[in-house]
Amino acid sequence: MRIRELALDLTPLRAGGPLGLVLATRVLALLCIGLTSVGVVVQVYERTGSSAQVGAVSLVLGTGLLLGFLVGGVLSDRRDRKGLILLGSGWAVVTFAVLSVNAAADRPALWVVYVSGALFGFTEGVAETALTAVVPTLVSEEHIPATGALVTVTTTLGSIAGPMLGGVLIAGPGLATTFALAAAGTAVTTLLLTRLGPMPPTGPEAGIATAETAGAMSGAGEAAVPVPEAAVPETVATGTAVTRPGVLRSLREGFAFIRGSQVVAAVLVVDLCAALFATPTALYPQFAEERFGGGAAFVGLLTTAPMIGAAVASLVSGWTGRARHQWRVLCGAVAAWGLACLGFGLSPLLGFGLFFLALGGVADTVSEIMRRTLLMRHTPDPLQGRVSSLWLAQAMTAPALGGVLAGLAASVVGPAATVAAGGAVCVGTLALVALRYRALWAGRVEPASRPDGAAVDPAVGSNSDTTAPS
């Protein structure tokens, strides 16, 4: 493999289309969200002096996001996805502006922060689900792996730059200015997004189902997933009526597809193993104090190390688009994450700990790229919204639950043993999952069908139209 092949693959952007605009606005939106998230934490703590209140605000935001993901998954498979994205972006402008006005008041009202956080979380969940669902439709099949890497890079850049810049602005111009700049930046994002064309979904949930598109939903070559008759009424053929199932039934159809698709189910289970058992973030404060004998400065270093690894991995992710065995790469990345947590837990010195966390950041980024790629390639468009929503919901709740489990274990055996054991359990459960889905590892899964009738490659990600990397 030549050095230039390691560089981030920009081919999907060079191919033209709206992908470049979507990714650029995504970076700006995440930057503004980062400014606001730091500002809210600082404001709540300054007003109350209570970490519990900070946690409560995060819980309110997380609850709103979870509901938004679930509702957004159904809406994204029924309505124009551009409208849902604009809804989230436009409401973010209102939210950030309200927070700015509230911060500028003599006595900022805490309830405003809570209500704004809940409503913003819901609309952001809807918009993020719609955006995740629409990305695969913006590129051709051969560009999906590279697109997954680009989406991961934009997420990483926005997640790192936003909080860093937020800290600088809060310490300088102040909270009101920080929120105002976030509102202005998001307003620019909204205006740019209006340049996009309509992005309607296809398939039964959009009310344009035929028997052929319904059959594509099950995924040819994989375990058949029956489509409820309510999703494809007989009257659709004559154009006299369109029947849509309720929200809960639509979500059940999403679960049914996941259960019937080896690829999607395996990706979600692997993701769950890493998030549930190897989540050291919640233990950073205790780890810094008891293991390394430091304070808040050490916590900042521990938090930054994985981000640095993630940034490096993003910049040299060009090879991921040419990986011939994406399932194997995903398993390798999750195993590396577990081993990095094991090494971090056993590290006697801060330097060693930071090194393993940076390696973990690299592994986590590669894992996310592979997860996005496999989910985009093996989920038909009529179900992109619901599968994306369930994945995003899991990605939000599993680490939180993992943090709770880690905290309980650390109170008994200490943070070091907890993190090390969690990494080992992550690797062990991954081995069981790989054994359960050994057909994917061996590459014996037949291609699944896309909604347009074209075949996609097997779950292992063997790209038949590309050569092996040198």
pLDDT above 50: residue 176: yes
* pLDDT tens for each residue of 242-286: 456 666 777 788 888 888 888 888 888 888 888 888 888 777 777
- Secondary structure of the chain in the HEC alphabet? CCHHHHCCCCHHHHCCCCHHHHHHHHHHHHHHHHHHHHHHHHHHHHHHCCHHHHHHHHHHHHHHHHHHHHHHHHHHCCCCHHHHHHHHHHHHHHHHHHHHHHHHCCCCCHHHHHHHHHHHHHHHHHHHHHHHHHHHHHCCHHHHHHHHHHHHHHHHHHHHHHHHHHHHHHHCCCHHHHHHHHHHHHHHHHHHHCCCCCCCCCCHHHCCCCHHHHHHHHCCCCCCCCCCHHHCCCHHHHCCCCCCCCHHHHHHHHHHHHHHCHHHHHHHHHHHHHHHHCCCHHHHHHHHHHCCCCCHHHHHHHHHHHHHHHHHHHHCHHHHHHCCCHHHHHHHHHHHHHHHHHHHHHCCCHHHHHHHHHHHHHHHHHHHHHHHHHHHHHCCHHHHHHHHHHHHHHHHHHHHHHHHHHHHHHHHHCHHHHHHHHHHHHHHHHHHHHHHCHHHHHCCCCCCECCCCCECCCCCCCCCCCCCCC
What is the chain's mean pLDDT, rounded? 77
Tell me the mean pLDDT in the region 57-61: 79
pLDDT above 60: residue 325: yes
Predicted pLDDT at 234? 36
* pLDDT tens for each residue of 111-164: 999 899 889 889 988 888 888 888 888 888 777 777 877 887 787 777 777 877
Predicted pLDDT at 243? 54
pLDDT above 70: residue 27: yes
* pLDDT tens for each residue of 406-453: 878 888 888 889 889 999 999 999 999 888 888 887 765 544 444 444
| Of the candidate ranges 55-69, 81-95, 166-180, 181-195, the one whose mean pLDDT is the lowest | 55-69
pLDDT band at 202 (very low <50, low <70, confident <90, very high): low
* pLDDT tens for each residue of 4-26: 666 677 888 887 778 888 888 88
pLDDT band at 1 (very low <50, low <70, confident <90, very high): low
